[in-house]
Amino acid sequence: MKDQSFSTRKGFLYRNEHFMRKVLVTGGAGFIGSHLVDALMSHKANVHVFDNLSSGSIENIKQWLKSPSFTLIKGDLLNPSDMGKLRLNCYDFIFHLAANPKVRVSSINPEVHFQQNVVATYNLLEWMRKCDSTSTIAFTSTSTVYGEAIKIPTPEDYAPLKPISIYGASKLACEALIIAYACTYGFKAIIYRLANIVGPRSVHGVIYDFIRKLKKNPKELEILGNGMQTKSYLYISDCIEAIILGLKKLKKQLEIYNVGSEDQISVKTIAQIVIEEMSLKNVRLKFTGGINGGRGWIGDVKNMLLDINKLKALGWKPKFNSEQAVREAVRHIIAEFH
């Protein structure tokens, strides 16, 4: 199945191919990061990827390894000597995607998200400060910073922000650090609060978990929680378009954008889509019942839908709704699964 990359949709991103001349992408071998790299490389940017390959994969970026305009730097933001591999003050944009993406891990070992999200972000900002960087930093945050928002859809100015997971708290801490550094040291910053992003190369999350479980046992599917958790899902191509358009339109020192679809889908419906796309019959759905009123795990937000009007005002709109995004992602992940 053909990967829906950005080589087929160049016109949307920007007319001036030199808009981004030299860029750094931390976590560029990961799911979202590698799709961002595809888009940047397809538009003639000089791309440096900084990745420790703990959750990312060389396979995701292998098509660019021999390109003279692509550089892979194997390194960890938690390792000061690795930070020394980065070139000083030469990037127009820094896309900071390096993080631990597994929300559930934080309820078991909060140290993981403190180190890999908060400390890693602090180290990157300190590197920018010490080298007197003039780069603009773009950060992929998360909808979980809102916690269980009372207002649905939830706008960017919703308050107070009360994340219910350590993961959400760590991302909110990163946002605060980035905002403070930008204001104190004079560089620009843009923060994207992402809904659930799905598509090819994803190796975690509900879709991947369902496919993995059904490959092991095609007769029964365990579903964490009561199955009624209802959230927004966005296809990866829509996400990347939003990220780059937001940067193209950036005029203020700081901007925050929600990035998601305009509707929701339940976990139970996702399970049914996966079963259908895997051509399985008579699959028993086994709900764990969940905790604290049907959550899949401690910190699981049961209802999430972002207000994306601010980003839509720039001219962006998702091409896939939640169900279409999920179904498209399921097809790709099934084809990739091994």
31-53: string of b/e by CB count within 10 Å (b at 16+)? bbbbbbbbbbbbbebbbbbbbbe
- Cβ neighbors of 85 (< 8 A, separation 6 or more) are 50, 73, 75
Annotated active-site residue in 91, 146, 158, 167: 167
Please say if 167 is a catalytic residue.
Answer: yes
* Tokens 């420790």, residue located: 52
Burial of 327 (0-12, 13-18, 19+ CB in 10 A): buried
What phi and psi values does residue 80 have, to the nearest 5 degrees?
-55, -35
List residues bridging with 136 in a β-sheet. 93
CA dihedral 186, 19, 65, 118 (to 10 degrees): 30
What SS3 state is found at 72? Answer: strand
Q: Are 335 and 1 in contact (CB under 8 A)?
A: yes
| Residues identified as active-site | 167
